Chain A
Amino acid sequence: MLTGTDITVSVGDRHLLQGISLSVAPGETVALIGENGAGKSTLLSVLCGDRLPSAGSVAINGRPLRSMRPGERARARALLAQEQHDLPGYTALEVVLIGRYAHIACVPSRADRDIAQAALANVDASHFATRLMQTLSGGERARVHLARTLAQLMGADHDVGRYLLLDEPTASLDVAHQHLIMDRVRGFAAEHRIGVVAVLHDFNLAARYVDRLLCLKQGRALALGGPEAVLTEPLLSDAFGMRCTVMSQLPGGRPLVVVLGSGLETV
């Protein structure tokens, strides 16, 4: 389990997060939703160990995150940040191999290369494995970095819980690839018994592919539960201040959110 207990993050007298608790099981996919500045990325940075909470704690498989060495952390969790630096001169495959850092003693082995190729195939990126990063489009680069985080967690013992933290993994992708990537991530999570926490802005993408959603507003948890429980008209209008309607009687049983307006428009 990846367990965050009573996490509070304060900067000065501003609370970025207040008493957030979240447990993610191996194989489960959880979406974080909320308006800009609600604390989604802050929560991810606490869960991955970048930021120490002012109060509360994070544990991976029962061990406090603080007590784990960098290599142990890297084998237990991977993070895809919202933005990536340029990597001029590196090929896509080389970037994915960097994700294997915590597993490689000296030189990448045949197995590491196979894992990197498999990770690229997982995000539909095999055909540009040998291209240079600066020649790829933004969405292609995003898929390469996603493959890097997948490769970081692959090839380990399936009995040990591992966790994938994704900050807006679909932000720069075309619609078809948004669905492809979410489908692959969910399949990857199930196949490798990996727990996923993903910041998502598209309710319908979340509704279709995740098991649970955590909705944040101003650093507090508004709701935590399945798509039907969280994606409701009153809750969304509270969290985002917008007008919307939720259609629930659809094939597949997942709710569909139709946004009617921001709630701030000048009439």
Chain B
Amino acid sequence: MEAVLHGLPAAPPRLPGAAALIGLAVLLLAVVLLATGRGAVAIGPAQIFRIVVHALGLGNRTGFSDQQWAVLVTIRAPRVILAVLTGAGLALAGAVTQGLFRNPLADPSLIGVSSGAAIAAAGAIVVGSAPALHLVAPLRLAVVSCAAFTGGLLAVLLVRRLASREGRTSLPAMLLAGIAITALAEAGIGALSFVSNDEQLRNITFWRLGSLGAASWPLLAIVAPVVILGALRLLRLSASLDAYALGEREAAHVGVDAQRVKTIAIIGSALVVGALVSVTGIIWFVGLLAPHVVRLLCGPGHRLLLPACALLGAILVTLADLAARTLVAPAELPIGMLTAFIGAPAFLMLLRKRRRWSE
């Protein structure tokens, strides 16, 4: 009643949890069908259904052309699956990092994953294309990916080590160490750019702009298990992250094993983001935008926030990749550029809308 008297809503209208998750899942399915169907070879939803049924060993090979079959199975499906994994992983890791650091601006790139991956990838591009090595193109790509994954993980472990004393990690110190390591990595990338030739420089630049063009089944076989297992572990942190909203010390008071949660959240996010970044390059803003949208729609509780973020992130990246490969076809736009182009203005609009509730 008091709320009515003061003209304040009890709380801003929130979507009920189940409705939000089901709505996002349905939307994701629609977006996946759209992205799978669009491109140089069009494939209708019914045809997609028939092809999938046939690929699973059921149903006849009818109702679609051989070309549609080949395009879907060898090109579109792995690419769309990679887009879904990338969006879900980046958004989930973003939400977890923000919850852990109690900072809506936090992002796994803040603790060194992206910059560590970027400098290692740049190094691999420069060294891997050295004529003396005679590496064939696919092998070069594999070397770059492995280097990026290792580099991202090593950077996070280094940041964590620098911010730990007597077995306890200080989160504020991690942020500062992350910024310093990022600056150092940027300097390193600058040095590598300086010594690289034109082709290497172009590769470094494009790697940093992101692309899902490398998607293939063998690649997914390596990346998907890391991302899925990591994401499932991160999802189980929801109650601990709610407690972290009270502050780290207070979280320990209500029974959170703070050091353990920090380790799982940091290493888990680094694994997920590292595995994705190593094959896609850097994709901006998904880890920041998705959690903000979901918080606005569903509130800050992590039990709903984390799975909803994963779904929304998957939707955003699948759409962004669809735009990246169809807008200027047959050429391709860098997806990392697109997500930032669309994400940043959307984020700014959200910020203005959000202020209404806090005033």
In contact, A128 and B255 (Cβ under 8 angstroms): no
A89 touches B2 (CB 8 A): no
Residue A175 at the B interface, CB < 8 A?
no
Q: Of B8, B245, B255, B357, which contacts A74 at CB under 8 A?
A: B255
Q: List 20 A-B contacts (CB under 8 A).
A: A50-B249, A69-B257, A71-B255, A81-B249, A84-B246, A84-B247, A84-B250, A85-B250, A88-B300, A90-B245, A91-B299, A94-B299, A98-B246, A101-B240, A101-B242, A102-B255, A128-B3, A131-B10, A132-B11, A132-B357
Q: Tell me the complex Cα distance, A132–B250, Å.
A: 20
Task: Please determine whether B2 and A127 come into contact, CB atoms closer than 8 angstroms.
Answer: yes
Closest approach, in angstroms, between the C-beta of A199 and any C-beta of chain B? 16
B245 x A98 contact (CB < 8 A): yes
Residues 9 to 42 of chain B near chain A (Cβ within 8 Å):
10-12
In the complex, chain B residues 162-193 whose Cβ is within 8 Å of any chain A Cβ: none
In the assembled complex, which residues on chain A have CB atoms less than 8 Å from the CB atom of B257?
Answer: 69-71
Interface, chain B (partner A; CB < 8 A) = 1-3, 8, 10-12, 102, 239-240, 242-243, 245-247, 249-250, 252-258, 295, 299-301, 303, 357-358
- Nearest chain A CB to B249's CB is how many angstroms away? 7
Instruction: Please report which residues of chain A, range 74-132, place their CB below 8 angstroms from some CB of chain B when the two chains form the complex.
Output: 74-75, 78-79, 81, 84-85, 87-91, 94-95, 98-99, 101-102, 104, 107, 127-128, 130-132
> B241 to chain A: closest CB distance in Å?
10
**Contact B245–A87 (Cβ < 8 Å):** yes
Residues in A neighbouring B249, C-beta threshold 8 A: 50, 81
B3 — nearest CB in chain A belongs to which residue? A131
Q: Are A101 and B239 in contact (CB under 8 A)?
A: yes
Shortest Cβ-Cβ A-B pairs, 8 listed = A74-B255, A102-B255, A89-B300, A130-B10, A101-B254, A85-B247, A71-B255, A70-B257
Cβ contacts under 8 Å, B246 to chain A: 84-85, 87, 95, 98
A-side contacts of B250, CB under 8 Å? 81, 84-85
